[in-house]
Structure 1
Amino acid sequence: MVAGAADRFGDAEAVVDGPLRLSFADLFDRIRCAAGAFAEFGITKGDRASVWAPNSVEWIIAAFGLLTAGGVLVPVNTRFKAEEAADIITRSGAKAVLVQQGFLGAEYVAPSGVPVIDLKSDFLGSGKPFSRPVESTDISDIIFTSGTTGRPKGVMMNHSQNLRLYEEWCELADLREGDRYLMVNPYFHTFGYKAGLIASFIRGATMLPVPVFEVGRVVDLIATEQITMLPGPPTLYHSLLAVADKSKLASLRAGVTGAADIPVELVRRVHEELPFQTLATGYGLTEAGTVTLSRPGDSFEDIATTAGVACDGVEVRIADDGEVLVRGYTVMQGYLDDPESTAQTIDPDGWLHTGDLGTLDAAGRLRIVGRKKDMFIVGGFNAYPAEIEGFLLEHPAVAQAAVIGVPDERLGQVGKAFLVTTTADGSPPPSAEEMIAWSRDRMAGFKVPRYVEFLDELPLNATGKVMKDKLEGHRR
């Protein structure tokens, strides 16, 4: 794919990152040198390496250099704390971790024995041009996602799945050769890496990585770089609607969103107040990539209230209990080193059980109505109550914990924690503010509960499970 992009698009601008501008031919050369550096480092076919860093040209060169060397990419969420990342890095068997030291004030530390390579060092340019043949069925990436148990699971995808699906994504999302694609979606996420980088290589779109979303900076980039393509969570479009000087946004043509419930009024306002000609919505998950996307000509109502129809070669059906099931070539190869969870998720007939609840209308449009797994989405990031509850229970004063998602105007949803405390040693119980501050030191920001309520007891059913529907009345 990378070599083909260099052949087809040559001198066209491939990446703009600050003052650095690279053509597709330049980028291909740098990726081949990075592949050589990985090979000289000792990466052989099938070896894994992690990239734990923000969006940047170095992330692109490292990731595709690793793949060109025959390696397997394991992206790590930049918001993860050291312990969260260490679990993923260790279980993936990564032979190295590539980081950008100092990002968001963090010093990234890998587990003992795993070499750390700074992306801003001269490592990526230190190799001789190199590539190693791979098969279409070889695993290309392992992206970790949390399940209801809260323990992240590594989703394995192969080269052919990525290339086929995101070629179709380009068509449905209206990504065109020469588009200028501002990338606010993080590369450690399927949306940023696959619907961003892979799609841009396939189509010949210019990639403009954004490490941290700041609306003023984004607006300036849209104006100065004449951005045409801007996918992101609904939060992004809310921010653009609040921009005073909308003439700076005049170049925008296409957007893609999803990851949260979208008000019909938001879609209508985007079309009426912003220059977007198309705004697509879709549904996807790490275990199957993009599953559905809206189609050109869909109404505001359809775009806002449904996730579109299934991609080519993908089947969607609704189980008797309302769960969304997916089958087709996009379904993952399985969870890394976890055949039991794989068997629980993909049934003998090949249907992937998503854990989401939905309906299909007569036209085949999917509507997501709830989340079987209790997951909620904070500004585009998936937050899993079971995982957050596990962290909260590590506090010595917390006896029981339950977390739900509550509405938030800016982020869509945020976490609210219900805690039962114990003060066995006679010390006073922590305050809500103290619990929130304690949480910020131990988990990624999007997981930290924004609200904490203390209860004498949690509502439990006969088997001892928390009845979260009983907590719904305490949403704010």
Structure 2
Amino acid sequence: MPELESDLASDLGVLVLRLFDAHDDRLPYLTHQQETVTRGELRERVSKQAAVFAGYGIGPGSTVGLRTPPSFTQIEVLLALWRLGAQVLLFDFRLKPPEVAALCGSCRPQFMVSAGSNVRATFGFRSEYEVLTERRRTGLPATTGHRLVQFSSGSTGRPKVIGRTARSLATEVDRFAGVPGMPVKGDRLLLLSSTAHSFGLIGGLLYSLAAGVSVVFAPRVSARDILRTAREHRITAVFGVPAHYELLVAAPDSGAFTGLPDLPDLPDLRVAVSGGEIMPPQVAAEFARRYGVGVGEAYGTTETGIVAIDVGGTLRPSVGRAAPGVVVRVERGELDVALDESPYLFDSGGTQYADGWLHTRDRAEVDVTGAVFVRGRADSLVVIGGLKVDLTEVENVLREHPAVEQAVLVHEGVTEAYVAVRAGFERPSAEELVRWCRERVADFKVPRVVRVLDSLPRTSNGKLVRQAAALRSAG
């Protein structure tokens, strides 16, 4: 694969062309059910979309909000806008209109591109959508060289506005290419990670375009659809978030479940990587036992892209070593990542970037081999009665209960625990879970309130919500 980081990469339109030119146009690139789009076919679709958008006046420096469901259309439109040199504000389609409106209030895009009237269920993948383009008179052109604008997950507060330049995207694609064990030309990647977020977009779509990997999408996010898709398309790699692997671990172990012959569930699989949040060790162990493949870990942030990765999952509980070219340090017990410039737009980053370092605010250690160990958010440390309590520690204790699938703790005056029940298990009482904790941690660490839910709320990119008000509403 040719190096992408060059002076030309400062132009995202050139970068898109170079990604297409990396391999034969006849290679399959996108597959959904029985429909496959080759690299050459996608190139033609992108050119046609770009011509339509140019007719609206979209060009270099235009600001365009993009909000479409997961689809071939979403990918075509994004690449077409980049071909024209636009700055794309990429919204997760699962965001509600008031959330999008609030973000647009600070970003002021000149155009909004969204799915039209043929939108159906938002929980699955479709090949195509009608596209509507709206000009906004109050919009403003780009004032920076950022060509991708994303938003932090909002799991602990209001999202930040984060920009990526063409050069930073090209550099990250090259970093993935230098990671041992990543899918290569001829591999078939089942991409479950959201294409509106960094790992799915850059590590999944853009890297695959550069590397000659075929990307396959499941029609719906269910264990049955994921397994059927993997079997039918002889999937060799899977990228997802922990919730996807939890689904697969809990799936019935029989051919009757998928409607396919009784064969190994994932006979061709050799790579499985989880990103978005730290994979629970028990889920990784059960997946390896069930499917015979270790789950790798990809750790990164929206601001930096990939930071550390262990494709084979052999370094767990480490999240892997720093990706090629990434420089990290641990200061005051927290992980920092070197960045040439602030990734934040509209002064939304506060003090998280300073003096050439992005402060992840994740507690971490780096051992003598360079392996990075992430110990949880720095804000998971609270003081109770003058004593420090790590909420993550108590969450892990609750997850060890056989009936608990996930747990989140928050502290606002008192410590509250919210837990989700594992499928097939009897719902434990709050009193039982308090006893469970009291037998395993000091009394001052035991949550005062425990609420048992069917499921815990998640952000649009699959992370568990850690805002007390949202958790209480879910209860």
Match of 2:304 in 1: 288
Matched, 1:96 2:132: no
Report the RMSD for the aligned CA atoms in angstroms. Answer: 4.0
Match of 1:3 in 2: 17
Give the residue type in structure 2 aligned to 1:92: C
Check conservation: 1:147, 1:384, Cα contact below 8 A.
no
In 2, Cα distance between equivalents of 1:354 and 1:445: 16
Q: 2:267 aligns with which of 250, 256, 272?
A: 250
Q: 1:231 aligns with which of 239, 243, 258?
A: 239
Q: Which runs of 5+ in 1 are unaligned?
A: 107-117, 125-136, 378-382, 390-399, 412-431, 454-475
Match of 1:372 in 2: 378
Residue 96 of structure 1 deviates from its aligned partner by 1.3
What pairs with 1:430-469 in structure 2 (closer than 5 Å)?
Answer: 447=465, 452=472
Match of 2:141 in 1: none
Other structure's SS at 1:79 match: coil
Match of 2:92 in 1: 77
Residue 236 of structure 1 deviates from its aligned partner by 2.0
What pairs with 1:383-402 in structure 2 (closer than 5 Å)?
Answer: none
Check conservation: 1:55, 1:209, Cα contact below 8 A.
no
Matched, 1:363 2:385: no
Q: Deviations over 1:263-294 (max 9, x none)?
A: 44443443343143x63212111011110112
Q: 1:149 to 1:408 in 2, by over 3 A?
A: closer
Check conservation: 2:366, 2:372, Cα contact below 8 A.
yes
Q: Deviations over 1:128-152 (max 9, x none)?
A: xxxxxxxxx9322000115688222
Q: 1:323 to 1:66 in 2, by over 3 A?
A: same
Q: Deviations over 1:101-127 (max 9, x none)?
A: 565657xxxxxxxxxxx9722779xxx
Residue 216 of structure 1 deviates from its aligned partner by 0.7
In 2, Cα distance between equivalents of 1:409 and 1:88: 34
Q: 1:19 to 1:262 in 2, by over 3 A?
A: closer
Other structure's SS at 2:59 match: coil
Other structure's SS at 1:175 match: coil
Give the residue type in structure 1 aligned to 2:372: L
Matched, 1:215 2:215: no
TM-score by length of 2: 0.69
Q: 1:148 to 1:251 in 2, by over 3 A?
A: closer
Q: Which range is displaced more, 90-99 or 159-168?
A: 90-99
Give the residue type in structure 2 aligned to 1:262: M
Q: 1:159 aligns with which of 147, 163, 166?
A: 166
Match of 1:270 in 2: 287
Q: Deviations over 1:283-327 (max 9, x none)?
A: 11101111011266x73xx22x1111112222211112x121111
Check conservation: 2:242, 2:280, Cα contact below 8 A.
no
Check conservation: 2:298, 2:311, Cα contact below 8 A.
no
Give the residue type in structure 2 aligned to 1:184: L
Other structure's SS at 2:152 match: strand
Count residues with an aligned counterpart: 380
Check conservation: 1:306, 1:367, Cα contact below 8 A.
yes
In 2, Cα distance between equivalents of 1:345 and 1:357: 14
Q: Deviations over 1:403-434 (max 9, x none)?
A: 967454669xxxxxxxxxxxxxxxxxxxx99x
Check conservation: 2:16, 2:82, Cα contact below 8 A.
no
Matched, 1:139 2:114: no
Residue 162 of structure 1 deviates from its aligned partner by 1.2
Match of 1:199 in 2: 207
Q: Which runs of 5+ in 2 are unaligned?
A: 1-14, 134-143, 255-262, 381-390, 396-406, 424-449
In 2, Cα distance between equivalents of 1:385 and 1:150: 15
Check conservation: 2:198, 2:302, Cα contact below 8 A.
yes
Give the residue type in structure 2 aligned to 1:50: G
TM-score by length of 1: 0.69
Check conservation: 2:33, 2:229, Cα contact below 8 A.
no
Identity, % of aligned pairs?
A: 23
What pairs with 1:325-364 in structure 2 (closer than 5 Å)?
Answer: 325-328=336-339, 333-338=342-347, 341-342=348-349, 344-348=351-355, 350-364=356-370
